[in-house]
Amino acid sequence: MTEQPTSHEGRQPLAARPQERTRPRAEAPGAPTVPTPPAQPTPPIPAGPQPQSPPLDLAGTARREGDRLRFVGAATRRIARGIDLDEIVLGLCRATVPTFSDAILVYLRDPLPVGDERPVSPFVLRLRRTDRLRLTGEEADLGNPVPVPVIDAQTDPTPAAELCEVRSGGALSEVLRGVRPVFGDSAAARAALPELLGADRAVPSGHRAILAPLRGRRRVIGAAVFLRRPDRPAFEPNDLLVAAQLATHTALGIDKAVLYGREAYIADELQRTMLPDSLPQPTGVRLASRYLPAAETARVGGDWYDAIPLPGSRVALVVGDVMGHSMTSAAIMGQLRTTAQTLAGLDLPPQEVLHHLDEQAQRLGTDRMATCLYAVYDPVSHRITIANAGHPPPILLHLGGRAEVLRVPPGAPIGVGGVDFEAVELDAPAGATLLLYTDGLVESRLRDVWTGIEQLRERLADTAQLTGPDHSPPLEALCDDVLDMLGPGDRDDDIALLAARFDGIAPSDVAYWFLEPEDAAPGRARRLARRALVRWGLEELSDSVELLVSEVVTNAVRYAERPVTLRLLRTDVLRCEVGDDSPQLPRQRRARDTDEGGRGLFLVNRLARRWGATRLSTGKVVWFELPTRA
């Protein structure tokens, strides 16, 4: 019997449900075939090429962006490594050529503003540096194109205008004020680039040039131009961001370099003014000195040296070291040095000078500490008096080559307070060399101070052996040789070095007398001076010397209560010294025609080569010098 298909009421036929996909059903054997509904007609495909959406190269884009990020990171690190202006600009050029561009031109303000200085307007941009990709001879033979047109003249050492005046309201001024980099074919850049590079300079067409302003913390300080050759892919919009990053890091680095350069200049000038410009040339001693800062980045310190002429042809030798390497240390050093010069002018004993320096350091502050060594050399007696305040001991190099560390009481540093200083008097034979130094020469992280002192002593002895037992090593060469002993790890502190070669004055070249303060003293002084000049073969100076000696002795006798001293010294000049117990210094004045006196110092000033007066603790000394040869 044939079964009728079962009708399911309430259900829609399959053809009426287009949303559902029909699944094939397995039919039972012998089941009747269900007719398949007719398929819907397929719309016809129009003839011709069909538009297709371009494939997205996501991997290539990500790779290019990653390369940009890595390039920016490496370039900014290279720029940041620079300390001074030239290093920073060179870092920008080396980082961008040829990785980012084939050529670069860097313009900076001239002069560069510093800090809060208000720059002048209109300002000038000067071409600071250029860099470009250079093709080798082999590449040129293969037909590779030459660099971009702005540097097409490879024989022209100046690829663009050297100077550019930025006029207010001009095209270049507007681009610089906008701060953001622009493509070379933009309307703003097309007007600005000829103004910057020069009207006769060609600029690459298309996106092959980028003009990037360099803005520091407060103002635009320059501009950079990036260029690419025609055979290279043009700049992309994202390259503007790269140029902006490079310009920002470069400008900030230049700002820091300018500020650092100004601070270094101020520090260097401060240190230079704190130290003597030149050493005096006192009678009977030759001097040489050296100063080395701790490092190029710390050019100021508290080390100083000095040589101060004293009455009686003596000289004070000073070396000191203030704690620290700052501007404050340099300022304290300058105050102590000035105090030492003032005390030396009073002709105080070395221990008294250190005592007053100690008091001055305490007045400057509770933490103002310094070490100092003060020595006075007398070329007539061939003796030296030394007082020490916590400083490394000096070394005396004898004529035969023996070097010895002088036994000087160490004392306490200046600034401690309540400490008595002690002075010792030692022989200073002719031909010997005294070396005063600061602890930076002998102490470092690699050696203690006494090891360094022993090494310095051995170095001096070895140097003296090279010149033989009868000759002293030249002072300048000796100082250089001493500094050569410093190794790479020995520069932890600044170094001050003062070397004194003792020549002395022979007893046969000295004449010394005591004169009673009476009316006959000037006549006796003339006779004694004449005899000494005859003995020395300087009779041609008799008239001048007798006249000047008479005038100076007359002035001394007028105010003195104790015997007046008269001393003549014959060296390369003839020096006359008259001392008395009156502290009042003579002053030159213009005498009237009716005055009977007041012309003594006028004559001394006209006839003597040099003259002066120095106050002593026991009075004063008036001296003058005459040349021994015409």
Residue pLDDT, tens place only, 98-141: 889 999 999 998 888 776 666 666 788 989 888 887 654 444 44
Residue with tokens 């996106």: 207
Lowest mean pLDDT among 8-12, 46-50, 453-457: 8-12
- Mind listing the pLDDT tens digit for each residue in 461-498? 999 888 877 788 999 999 999 998 876 655 667 899 99
Please report which confidence band the pLDDT of residue 57 belongs to, taking 50, 70 and 90 as the band edges.
Answer: low
Q: What percent of the chain has pLDDT over 70?
A: 81
pLDDT above 90 for 368: no
Distances (CA, A) of 337 to 348, 388, 497, 519: 15, 15, 15, 43
Cβ(456)–Cβ(482) below 8 Å: yes
pLDDT of residue 24: 44
Helix (H, G, I), strand (E, B) or coil at 364: helix
pLDDT of residue 7: 43
Residue 73 identity (one-letter amino acid): G
Report residue 371 as tokens. 């070490």
Query: CA nearest 482: which of 445, 433, 447?
Result: 433
Cβ(505)–Cβ(379) below 8 Å: yes
Whole-angstrom distance, CA of residue 589 vs CA of residue 401: 53
Residue with tokens 């509904």: 37
Please report which confidence band the pLDDT of residue 520 belongs to, taking 50, 70 and 90 as the band edges.
Answer: very high
Q: Which of residues 133 and 221 earns the better pLDDT score?
A: 221
pLDDT of residue 296: 57
List b or e across 323-357, with b for residues whose CB sees 16 or more CB atoms inside 10 angstroms.
bbbeeebbbbbbbbbebbeebbbebbebbbbbbbb
Computed on alpha carbons and rounded to an integer, the radius of gyration of the chain in Å comes to 44
Omega before 122 within 30 of 0, i.e. cis:
yes
pLDDT of residue 589: 62
C-beta contacts of 42-50 below 8 A and 24+ residues apart: none
Whole-angstrom distance, CA of residue 372 vs CA of residue 387: 9
pLDDT of residue 380: 92
| Sheet hosting strand 383-389, strand order edge to edge | 303-310, 314-322, 370-378, 383-389, 423-427
Say which residues have a Cβ less than 8 Å from residue 329's Cβ, sequence separation at least 6. 300, 301, 302, 322, 323
113 DSSP 8-state letter: P
Whole-angstrom distance, CA of residue 385 vs CA of residue 101: 70
pLDDT above 80 for 44: no
Helix (H, G, I), strand (E, B) or coil at 50: coil
Q: Which of residues 13 and 300 earns the better pLDDT score?
A: 300
pLDDT above 50 for 595: no
Count of CB atoms within 10 A of residue 465's CB?
12
Helix (H) or strand (E) holding 174: helix 171-178
| Sheet hosting strand 209-215, strand order edge to edge | 163-166, 123-132, 103-109, 220-227, 209-215, 182-183
CB neighbour class for 594 (10 Å; exposed up to 12, middle 13-18, buried from 19): exposed
Q: Which of residues 50 and 164 earns the better pLDDT score?
A: 164
- Between 58-80 and 85-96, two packed helices, what is the crossing angle to 10 degrees? 160
Q: What is the sign of the dihedral through the CA atoms of 73, 78, 83 and 88? A: negative
Whole-angstrom distance, CA of residue 570 vs CA of residue 283: 10
Beta-strand relationship, 433-437 and 610-616? unpaired
pLDDT of residue 455: 92
Average pLDDT over residues 146-156: 42
Task: Provide the whole-model pTM.
Answer: 0.67
Report residue 491 as tokens. 């520069």
Average pLDDT over residues 217-239: 89
Cβ(235)–Cβ(228) below 8 Å: yes
- Mind listing the pLDDT tens digit for each residue in 279-328? 998 888 999 999 988 765 556 778 899 999 988 789 999 999 998 777 78
What phi and psi values does residue 606 have, to the nearest 5 degrees? -80, -35
List b or e across 289-305, with b for residues whose CB sees 16 or more CB atoms inside 10 angstroms.
bbbbbbeeeebbbbbbb
Average pLDDT over residues 497-505: 94
pLDDT of residue 617: 73
Please report which confidence band the pLDDT of residue 32 belongs to, taking 50, 70 and 90 as the band edges.
Answer: very low
Q: Which residues pair with 166 in a beta bridge?
A: 123
Q: What is the sign of the dihedral through the CA atoms of 447, 449, 454 and 457? A: positive
Average pLDDT taken over every residue of the chain: 82
Count of CB atoms within 10 A of residue 489's CB?
10
Query: CA nearest 445: which of 488, 474, 402?
Result: 488
Lowest mean pLDDT among 232-241, 292-301, 556-565: 292-301
> Which regions of 169-302 does DSSP assign to beta strands (E)?
182-183, 209-215, 220-227, 285-292
Average pLDDT over residues 526-542: 94
Whole-angstrom distance, CA of residue 574 vs CA of residue 337: 31
Residue 609 identity (one-letter amino acid): R
